[in-house]
Amino acid sequence: MIAADDLIALVRNYNPKTNEALIRAAFAYGEAMHDGQTRQSGDPYFTHPVAVAAILTEQQLDDATIVTALLHDTIEDTKSTYLEISERFGEEVAMLVDGVTKLTNLQLSSTETKQAENFRKLFMAMSKDLRVILVKLADRLHNMRTIKAMREEKQLQKARETMDIYAPLAGRMGMQWMREELEDLAFRVINPEARVSIIRRFITLQREAGDVIPRITNDMRHELDAVGIEAEVFGRAKKPYSIWRKMQEKELSFSRLSDIYGFRIITRSEMDCYRALGTIHRRWRAVPGRFKDYVSQPKSNGYRSIHTTVSGRDGKRVEVQIRTRQMHEVAETGVAAHWSYRDGVRAQNPFAVDPAKWIASLTEQFTAEEDHDEFLEAVKLEMYSDQVFCFTPKGEVVKLPKGATPLDFGYAIHTRIGSACVGAKVDGIRVPLWTRLKNGQSVQIITADGQTPQATWLDIAKTGKAKSAIRRSLREARKGRFVKLGREIARSAFEHVGKKASDKVLEKAAKTLRLADGEALLARLGSAEISARDVVAAVYPDLSPRPHSEVDTARAVIGLAHDQAFSRADCCQPLPGERIVGIVRRGQGVIVHAIDCPNLVEVEDEPDRWLDIQWAEGRHPAVYDVTLDLTIGNDAGVLGRICTLIGERKANISNLQFRDRKPDFYRLDINLELSDAEHMHSVISALEAESDVAQVERKRDTDRIDQARTAAE
């Protein structure tokens, strides 16, 4: 374990004016509080807080953060209290320790709903003081470095949590070195065979070609010296997980993978960055499409650097990052650069971002999300996103995540522009709204008065901000219709049990279901987000209506006029229990589509033909056709067992067609008559559990989609 004097020496290296007495007192207090406690490895427990503090000294952080690291487990694991820490070490340290304690108690890898709620708490903690997250990340890094002492199942849980949450969070904060180490440590637990395989291939590559890093580094230094550029040049092989991820994304073998070496050039000035870039491009051939200028267009976390990929020795591709020393410091510590010290004073790095502004920009769109799943989606979209830079017609730059569309561009400029969007031009050419934007493109959004967001836009938009705005607009536009429909459903449901759906009753139901008021309840009821049974049960649990008698198939959909006939769309085969929308077709009545049907794109510009509908409550007969795509083993009796399995779940096979026959597997389409989505999931679950079923999934036939489009035209 590092001694107190050694830890103080580490801090004094970058902060000669450090409060040695405070750090020494915290060290002694933490050691006393954890006395007698041991880690899974058998080491004294206090070795862990000291190691976390040492990690934070590498980022040259302030005394309060170092002290917090030494004390971060005292409130949770010892008899220490918030009040005692506040009295001994000050209110600032006590608040930080309390914040870390609360984060430690969050189970971020739990169920989706719980995970979303815990993410909210995590971002709330970040918004109060970002140093809480810095301590927690260092805590997780040391735990991952010593993870071998844990039980195997605990190792796997912590590794997945690290890969899903902490590593992306470190990357989003600009701490790329920590992200890479966390990913690699987690990769070692999750897929050790793949990691060992990549390391072995690296060793073989070095044996065959020699260590190319010193050779390329010397070549670059020689070229820079020749034109009088003073710079440091470093090279390294990329981490095993980074290589493995590229192999998976590009579906390439290791031998075909390029760009496995990275080089960094640290210059004295910003002008030298661009001079160095020109020198590198003159000596080596630049790879098209692999250039990014984060110096002129920095990332939101303050990251600045020029990225380029060139063909180096023997045609091997290498990535080169070019930045100044100040840019490099921010690139190494990210948002943490705001608290770093040098020579006893807070480092005045012009590229360090204000943490308060950074966290505000990160969480701006999350606060508008009411639904847990939508909030979690928005967080993960923002956490995992890379960036592209596009231009407005006036030349202003708009930063967007990779994969963003013109809709995202419109909403990034202003919500009003995004909501009124009817089309877009990219580099002067009219393009569909689902077009993926690329770096450097000029985008013009075409708007029209009276245009409002369409439901299908949710599948087109990629950013959390755009999705939030679209959902909010859709909720507002439909709320009146949903409230009216919900009131009728509520009236019918309460009359069914001999009660009245008065305003007082609806308010009580809303309170029980944790909704704002009776109107919010009716809107949720009308939009099928909650059922009438749930509303009645909230007020009269003993009178909650049981499933009705079998629903008449001719009246299976609510929301149609008396004279409107309907039919299910062949392309998506919607089932009771699924969200649906009605499309009016001349001569065909109303065609019922699943809300996520790809075919709806064809009518997104015709809002007058869309109807808000939902399935009637009750027990639907098993008459709704659904096609399943099965891959089964070619063995005696397999097909018979599958048919029996389907029959046991009260599903009728209306058609069966073999699509592909191989010596070991058959692939076939099975048409089933089902009652609702729950019935379908029951059948699919049973089939998935069958050992001779290699794959089963619901089929959405592209031929049927094409036929539907033809009919629409």
Residues designated as active site: 76-77
List of long-range contacts for 392-399, beta carbons under 8 Å, 24+ apart:
392/442, 392/443, 392/444, 393/442, 393/444, 397/297, 398/443, 399/297, 399/299, 399/300
Asked whether the CA dihedral 590, 595, 598, 602 is positive or negative, the reply is: positive
The count of residues in the chain is 713
Residues 517, 510: contact at Cβ < 8 Å? Answer: yes
**Residue located via tokens 């489009």:** 709
CA nearest neighbour of 415 among 463, 381, 382 = 463
Helix (H) or strand (E) holding 204: helix 192-209
What is the DSSP secondary structure assignment for residue 333, as one 8-state letter? H
Q: 3-class DSSP state for residue 82? A: helix
Residues 275, 285: contact at Cβ < 8 Å? Answer: no
Edge-to-edge strand ranges of the sheet holding 624-633: 652-661, 665-674, 624-633, 693-698
CA nearest neighbour of 613 among 590, 589, 582, 588 = 582
Distance CA(381)–CA(408), nearest Å, equals 13
Q: 3-class DSSP state for residue 166? A: helix
Torsion of CA 241, 245, 246, 250, to 10 degrees: 160
Helix (H) or strand (E) holding 633: strand 624-633
Distance CA(434)–CA(452), nearest Å, equals 17
What is the DSSP secondary structure assignment for residue 44, as one 8-state letter? B
Measured between its terminal Cα atoms, the distance across the chain in Å is: 75
Helix (H) or strand (E) holding 391: strand 387-391
Rounded to whole angstroms, the maximal C-alpha distance in the chain is 92
List of long-range contacts for 31-36, beta carbons under 8 Å, 24+ apart:
33/74, 33/78, 33/79, 33/80, 34/73, 34/74, 34/77, 34/78
Distance CA(713)–CA(708), nearest Å, equals 9
